[in-house]
Structure formats: structure tokens, C-alpha cells
Chains A and B, each alone.
Chain A
Amino acid sequence: MKQDDGAWQLERLSAAEAPELCRAVDAAKQQLPNARELAALAASLPLQGLPLATSGASRRDLAAPTRSGRYWLVVGSAVFGAIVICVALVRLPVATSSTASSHVSGAPADPRRPAVGGSAMAVPGAPPTSVNRGALELTPSMPESAANDASAAAPGPSLAASGSAPEAAVVTNAAVPRPAASVARSLASPRTSQSPAGSAQGASLGAGTKVQPSEVELLRDARLALRSSPALALGLTEQHGALYPRGTMVQERELIAISALALLGRHAAVLSRAQRFEHDFPGSPYRKQIAQIAE
């Protein structure tokens, strides 16, 4: 190819010539996959016969994917089996029933949910039903932790104080044992690691049966779902609105709903709801945050 040094030089876009576009490009550069997504991809490759673990693999190895794939399948199965046995041994003194071990061992089979098995091992003393609960509570904390904190501090629906106290003291979940009924309800409520459809179904089931999710549980699940599935988060806030139209956590619900609408790109709805919030709760501690979102 003819190459002319001077003719085909091109500088990258500069903020001076297109500030808005440049800022958007910079934002796009930060949108890299998270560790969970990369781990799921890495876990799927050995099943395709791709030898990820052999950093120093020679060309000859690379040229024989079929044989290598079989090898990694065998190694992977052995490692998986060992993990299952370890988990079963750790849990043996607490829960000897076969349902407990099968519940845990099923988790690593889905590479999209790697945290479940880990959390099961982290809380060996917990009853079997708390495994998924542990995974849920160990999810990275959300920016406004009022709902989570309130949930940990008092697992009932009577949480009048939490509604206007975003700076409430953080109480870790592990430090406060939950009543069995609360755990049962939480299992019926949606989790972020599930598909939105499945979670929504779980939520509606919870609403339809005698075990109605509490305000705190609904909003906690909505908040946890916010980043991974804003549509689900919005649905949960709507459910909260239907079940608790005059609840004690209306402000939190509005904050989550407005955030979800912003993430869904429903700008007009964001503005309208933000204005209504400002009118209804002029002294709210969330007012500034909501104004920023709607700006």
C-alpha cells in the first residue's frame, strides 16, 4: 500500500472542537465489562475446547483444540467435583439432608451466578434457606443504603424512622439474625441475579399470596435490581405503590423509581415525577439527589 507519512495523519477528537461528543466518547471508554461478566466468559471457554489456563501454550497445543478441549473438560469436571465435595463436607455438620448439598452444588453450574457457591461457604453455620439470602446481601452496596440498612435493622414493616434518615447507622446483615418468616418472604421475592421476568413473577406471587412482601423488602429488591435491570426496579416500585400507597418509605420509592426511569431513558417521566416529588416533599433529604438526576 502506498503510504504517505504526511497525508494520513489524524489526531483524535479533541474536547476543544467537540466537548459534548468528546465527553460521551470518554464515558463510552469506561464501559468495560465487569469482573463477573469476564469470569462468566472465561468459564465458558474451556467448554468450547479453548485452553485459557495455559498461558505458555505452544502453537502445537493451539493447533489441537479437540484433544485439548477434552483434557480441559476432564480437568474442569475434576475441579468442580472437588469443590462440590468440599462444600458438602463444610456443610455436613449443619445440614445433613441431601437437599442442602444439592442446592449448593447446583449453583456453580451456571457461570453467570458465581457468587452463590462462595457465599454458601462463607456462612457455613447458616440454615440451608439462607444461602441465597447470603448471596443477595453480599451484593456490592448501593449508593443510598437506607433501604438495606433499614432492612437489616428491623425486618418488619414498621420503619417510620428510616423514611427520612438516609444517614442511618449501617448495621451489617450478619450481625442481626432474621426471623424465619422474613427469610421465607425474601426467598419469594425477586433477586437481581435472576432474569427480570422470573423475578417479576416471584414478586407478583409474593404479592398475591398471604406472604406479602414488606415495604423494606420490596424497596431493597428494587434498589438491588436498579443497575442490572431498571425495568424490574421500576416494576417493584410500582408494586410498592400499589401495596403501600401511604407507606413510610414513599420517598425512597420515588428516588428509586426516578433513577430507574432515568436509566430507561424516559426523560419526560423523570421530570414530571421529580417535580411532583419536589412539590410533595419540599424538605426531603433526597431532593437534591433527585434534582441532579432530573437536571
Chain B
Amino acid sequence: MDERTAEAETTVPVPSFAQIFEQHTPFLWRALTNLGIPKHEVQDLCQEIMITVHRRLPSFDGMSLRGWLYGICVRVASDYRRSARVRREIVSESPPDEASSSDLVEFIDRGREVRLLLDALTQLDEPKRVAFVLFEIEELTLAEVSEAVGAPLQTVYSRIKAAREQMQRAFESRTSPYPKKGGAIEAR
């Protein structure tokens, strides 16, 4: 059975604004980061998302809450990227500043991988980046991604496939920026 049909049949009551905030904000925050929003702007944009959610919640049709929320998230991020203030920003900056692990090496390793991912994501065009982030990182269904970006399923499907191929190529070409032990690379 198609996921969208299944979801429509099991439509649940629309949650309150507070519930939405509690359950979805951390993931929307993460999505903003992966969509290229600089760390210092994420909180403001999250607030912008919540303001929009609050304003439009009464008109939400109750179909796919995640698709609807991420749709707002994608539009807010897209508006930000188009705005004048972002023109001189660098999309991928330092890795997130705190991790649950207390191990410094693991923290740095994870930061390195995230940095690689963000660097590779910046090479994608916006529709592909959005499709990849929503499907692979946020784990939305195809139908939810389709709703979030307002594109047909087949378009979303093609974008994800193309984004994957491009990302894989990027990772294969630069596996690790560090040579194996013993390799001599001089500093700048």
C-alpha cells in the first residue's frame, strides 16, 4: 500500500503548537544545518519556522504533518539563501559545537565526517540537496518529501538518485583528507 494512502487513512488529530515544538524542533534545527544554514542563524530561522507553523496551523489539512513542517522548513531555508544577507556567507562552517560524547577524538572524528558531508552537499544544486537531506538524513518518506518540496514523486525520486550518485562520487574522490600514518605533509 502506498505510504501516503496509508497515512491518510490513519490521520490523527492535529497536535497542538506546543506538541509540534516539542517533538519536531530538534529535527527541523538539524535539517536547517544540513540545508546550509550557518550555525549562528539556525536559531533565528527555527523561530521563523515556528512563527509560520503557528500562523498556518489552523489551516493545516491534517494529512502529513512531517511533510508540511519540512515544507515550511525548506521554504524558510530557501528564502534565507536567496536573501541579501547570505550572499557573502560560506555555507559550511565549523562543525556543530557540542556532542553527546565526551570523547574528544570521537567528537573531532564525527565533526570531520559531518564537515565532509556538508562540503559535498554544497556541491549539489538546491533541489537535489533538499531531496537528499530530507530523505537520507531526516528519513522522510518519498511521499513526505514530495509534499515538502511540492514536486511529483517521480521528480523527487530522480533527484534523490542523482544526489546520491553525486555524493558518492564526491566521497570516493576525497575519502579522507588525511594521509595514513607516516605520510609527510608539511604545514602551510
Q: Which residues of A contact B (CB under 8 A)?
A: 1, 3, 5, 7-10, 12-13, 17-18, 20-21, 23-25, 27-34, 37-38, 40-42, 44-45, 48, 50-57, 59, 62-63, 65, 140-144, 227-231, 259, 262-269, 271-273, 275, 289, 291-295
Contact = CB atoms under 8 A, between A and B. Distances in A.
Contact of B17 (A24, A34, A50): A50
B30 interface: yes
B89 interface: no
B137 A56 contact: no
B43 A3 contact: no
Contacts of A231: 94
B95 A263 contact: yes
B178 A143 contact: no
Contacts, number: 193
Interface in B115-148: 115-118, 120, 135-137, 139, 142, 146
15 contacts: A1-B153, A8-B153, A10-B135, A17-B168, A24-B113, A28-B114, A28-B117, A32-B27, A44-B47, A51-B18, A53-B18, A142-B104, A227-B98, A228-B98, A263-B108
Nearest to A13: B136
A57 B34 contact: no
A253 to B, nearest CB: 15
Interface in B153-188: 153-154, 157, 160-161, 164, 167-168, 171-172, 175, 177-179, 181, 183-188
Contacts of A13: 136, 164
Interface of B: 1-2, 4-5, 16-19, 21-22, 25-27, 29-30, 33-34, 42-43, 46-47, 50-51, 54-55, 57-58, 94-100, 102-105, 107-108, 110-118, 120, 135-137, 139, 142, 146, 152-154, 157, 160-161, 164, 167-168, 171-172, 175, 177-179, 181, 183-188
Contact of B117 (A27, A33, A45, A294): A27
Contacts of B164: 13, 18, 21
Given A23-B113, A267-B178, 11 more contacts: A24-B117, A28-B118, A33-B42, A41-B29, A41-B46, A50-B50, A262-B112, A265-B94, A268-B185, A268-B188, A293-B105
B161 to A, nearest CB: 8
A259 B104 contact: yes
B172 to A, nearest CB: 8
Nearest to A68: B54
A29 B172 CA distance: 21
A192 B140 CA distance: 36
A198 B50 CA distance: 31
Given A5-B1, A293-B105, A295-B181, A55 B111 contact: no
A21 B168 contact: yes
Contacts of A140: 102
Name which of B94, B135, B184 has the most chain A CB atoms within 10 A of its CB: B94
B115 A265 contact: yes
Given A24-B171, A28-B34, A28-B137, A45 B21 contact: yes
A71 to B, nearest CB: 14
A154 to B, nearest CB: 24
B107 A54 contact: no
Contacts of A31: 30, 33, 95-96, 99, 114
B7 to A, nearest CB: 12
Most buried by B among A28, A29, A55: A28
Nearest to A50: B54
A48 B186 contact: no
